[in-house]
Structure 1
Amino acid sequence: MSQLNKLSVSGLFHLCIVYILWGSTYLAIRVAVQDGSGFPPMIMSATRVFAGSLILMALAKFIYKQSLRLTYDEFVVLFISGLALWWGGNGLLAIAETTVSSGYAALIISCTPIWVALIESILDKKRPTFFLVGSLLVSIAGISVLNWPAIHAGNLSDLWGALLLIIAGLSWAAGSIYQKRKNVQSSPEVSSAFQQLFGGIALLITSFIISEPAINPISSAWWAWGYLIVFGSVIAFTSFVKALKLLPPNVVFTYAFINPVVAVLLGFLILKEPITQWTLSGAFLVIIGVLGIFKEQKTKLNYVKENDID
């Protein structure tokens, strides 16, 4: 038990950073790409991750004295996962948020742990445990309750935006599992830097292909863009990579359940949005679901440990 707790401390610390910072990035993305912001979504995403990549490379090279050289296998893994995470995941999210609200985007992306469980079950040829499925369903129920007023009022986004968000969640889940299973030896800073570099190149190429207009951001869009670079691309993403190294994917992806709660709190504090009984009820269910996933993973690890001892 003490070994498990010791192993989890660092991973849980980085996961908490992901909880808070990535929960706020939905709002920042919406501010950066909404109508009239002057920032096309692909250009915004590409310049954001390029800047984040340069910062991480500088930190790795000059502060942490790490090598930026990759082996061929590392190049392949980071290239594929970078495309899945930043082009397929973040890029499609940015496009979707030009038409859908940040809260709705967070609701759809919160299904990512389900995609993780399904993908891992397929790869391992195992059925998800009843406890895990139950925990996921409770969390999804909490997210639904959290967003029930908007759903009841009929404020749903178009099907195209929803489809993009579903694909984005699937892409992020697949890229993360692929990276986790390939066990890249380079540091989290170097891994994050190259993933963002490769993803940024793909985003930029896509921007040219679809002929996005020239950028002319307003001040709020610039501020949101800067926030996404420092807190989203650098700090939070590095913590995400570290958490993946230290914790099981199903636990790491519980951040998707916390993000909508963070978004609601930010809306209350910054945009003066009300917190209703739906908000409190949904938040309670989300937390219960997250705790259930942690307990399921802990039980599984204890079972493996006991069998190893025997």
Structure 2
Amino acid sequence: MATTSAPAVRPDLAAHQPSAAMIWTALAVVYVVWGSTYLAIRIVVEAQIPPMLGMAARFLIAATLLATFLVVRSGGRRLRVTRSELLGAGTVGLLLLALGNGAVAVAEQTVPSGLAALLVAAVPLWLMLLRVGGGERPRLLTWAGVLIGFGGAALLSVSGGDTSAKPLSVGILVLGTICWAIGSRFSPRLGLPKDPLVATVYEMAIGGAAMVLIGVLRGEPGRLHLGAVDTKGWFALAYLVGFGSLIAYSAYTYLLANAPISLIGTYAYVNPAVAVFLGWLILDEHVTAKILLGGAVVVLGVALVVSAERRPRAAAVPADPAPPDPAVPPAPPAADR
């Protein structure tokens, strides 16, 4: 990912083949930073900041800061987009942020951050089912991974009895992961702005505005008391703005435009390890054997799916071999992780 101090990706350079180093750097950022955002979101909602309004502030502030940086760096013309590009960015912002990330924040009022991350680990499985709906025929190993992964998700869904998680919150979280998967799957087809950073600005701005509306409909303004928010809550919100949005979400947008979706989906089974560890270390969240088992099953299922999808498919007819899988960057050296 390009951070706010890195060279911006220009529309006229978008056609260039992205380097493996850039793709793996962006993945590393999403792996680690998004794993920590589950903890930050939990701290925000525990600090009595209403979830939708808190996440709206996160994305609207980040969009304003990123837009200001782009204008100062390249001028106002940098932010010009067509109507279709604006519509595409708005659709992604609604699905990924307002409905996807918003659901995580609402659910984490009762769902521990580690459990939330484990449930979100099912995103690659939803992505695979969307591909099936689009007419693709996955391998048997892929189907095995899907069945195993959903079994783990089901185990996690009933583990609420061992935690403070409520079934409704778990259901909201699952719906949010489906919205995130839909947005991720169809993002490359929506005609987004060619500059990933510009696309990020509009996605965060529109998604954040939608969150304000949803928050108002949920009656959140009446529950917002700024004086009651402690320093820890403000610090967590600032972390979400700077690291979770400006850095990690920009990295994810870059990946959606430049990397295979099967590779992008691997973040979902790295994030839980980070989230569970930080939740246990900082918030003293109770990690039960059922949660660990369910999480391990989800990770196994997703790993099988990704492993199967990265293998070249054998040619069905020798005279007309199947095209190779989209270019997947080589695995990074161990030191890159």
TM-score, length-scaled by structure 2? 0.77
Aligned length: 300
**Which residue number in structure 1 is paired with residue 189 of structure 2?**
181
Q: Does 1:151 align with 2:159?
A: yes
Task: Return closer, same or farther for 1:59/1:286 CA change in 2, 3 Å cut-off.
Answer: farther
The amino acid across from 1:172 in the alignment is W
Task: Return closer, same or farther for 1:249/1:308 CA change in 2, 3 Å cut-off.
Answer: closer
**Which residue number in structure 1 is paired with residue 234 of structure 2?**
222
The amino acid across from 2:169 in the alignment is G
| 1:38 counterpart SS class | coil
Q: Does 1:19 align with 2:19?
A: no
Task: Return closer, same or farther for 1:173/1:64 CA change in 2, 3 Å cut-off.
Answer: farther
1:152 and 1:85 map into 2 onto residues whose CA distance is 25
1:283 and 1:270 map into 2 onto residues whose CA distance is 20
Contact 1:12 1:243 in 2 (8 A): no
Residue range with higher mean Cα deviation, 272-281 or 202-211: 272-281
**Which residue number in structure 2 is paired with residue 119 of structure 1?**
130
**Which residue number in structure 1 is paired with residue 250 of structure 2?**
238
Aligned counterpart for 1:103 among listed residues 110, 114, 131: 114
Q: Does 1:43 align with 2:49?
A: no
What do residues 40-63 of structure 1 show as CA deviations (whole Å, max 9, x unaligned)?
111101111001101221232223
What do residues 184-212 of structure 1 show as CA deviations (whole Å, max 9, x unaligned)?
24311111110010011111112222221
Contact 1:81 1:195 in 2 (8 A): yes
Deviation at 1:12, TM superposition (A): 2.5
Q: Which runs of 5 or more residues in structure 1 are unaligned?
A: none
TM-score, length-scaled by structure 1? 0.83
**Which residue number in structure 1 is paired with residue 198 of structure 2?**
190
Deviation at 1:234, TM superposition (A): 1.0
1:121 and 1:274 map into 2 onto residues whose CA distance is 37
Task: Return closer, same or farther for 1:26/1:170 CA change in 2, 3 Å cut-off.
Answer: same
Contact 2:85 2:191 in 1 (8 A): no
**Which residue number in structure 2 is paired with residue 54 of structure 1?**
64
**Which residue number in structure 2 is paired with residue 252 of structure 1?**
264
Task: Return closer, same or farther for 1:81/1:276 CA change in 2, 3 Å cut-off.
Answer: closer
Deviation at 1:141, TM superposition (A): 6.8
Residue range with higher mean Cα deviation, 159-168 or 275-284: 275-284
Contact 1:251 1:293 in 2 (8 A): no
The amino acid across from 1:80 in the alignment is T
Deviation at 1:273, TM superposition (A): 6.9
Deviation at 1:152, TM superposition (A): 9.3
Aligned counterpart for 2:207 among listed residues 193, 199, 204: 199
Q: Does 1:31 align with 2:57?
A: no
1:13 and 1:301 map into 2 onto residues whose CA distance is 27
1:157 and 1:71 map into 2 onto residues whose CA distance is 43
What do residues 129-155 of structure 1 show as CA deviations (whole Å, max 9, x unaligned)?
22223344556677889x79x939733
Deviation at 1:214, TM superposition (A): 2.5
Residue range with higher mean Cα deviation, 208-217 or 193-202: 208-217
Task: Return closer, same or farther for 1:177/1:143 CA change in 2, 3 Å cut-off.
Answer: closer
Contact 1:139 1:257 in 2 (8 A): no
- Higher helix content, 1 or 2: 1
Task: Return closer, same or farther for 1:269/1:99 CA change in 2, 3 Å cut-off.
Answer: closer
Contact 2:45 2:105 in 1 (8 A): yes
Task: Return closer, same or farther for 1:271/1:260 CA change in 2, 3 Å cut-off.
Answer: same
Task: Return closer, same or farther for 1:139/1:94 CA change in 2, 3 Å cut-off.
Answer: same
| 2:312 counterpart SS class | helix
What do residues 17-55 of structure 1 show as CA deviations (whole Å, max 9, x unaligned)?
111110111110000002xx1211111011110011012
Deviation at 1:128, TM superposition (A): 2.8
2:166 and 2:287 map into 1 onto residues whose CA distance is 26
C-alpha RMSD of the superposition: 3.3
Residue range with higher mean Cα deviation, 112-121 or 19-28: 112-121
1:201 and 1:33 map into 2 onto residues whose CA distance is 19
Contact 1:59 1:189 in 2 (8 A): no
Aligned counterpart for 1:131 among listed residues 138, 141, 156: 141
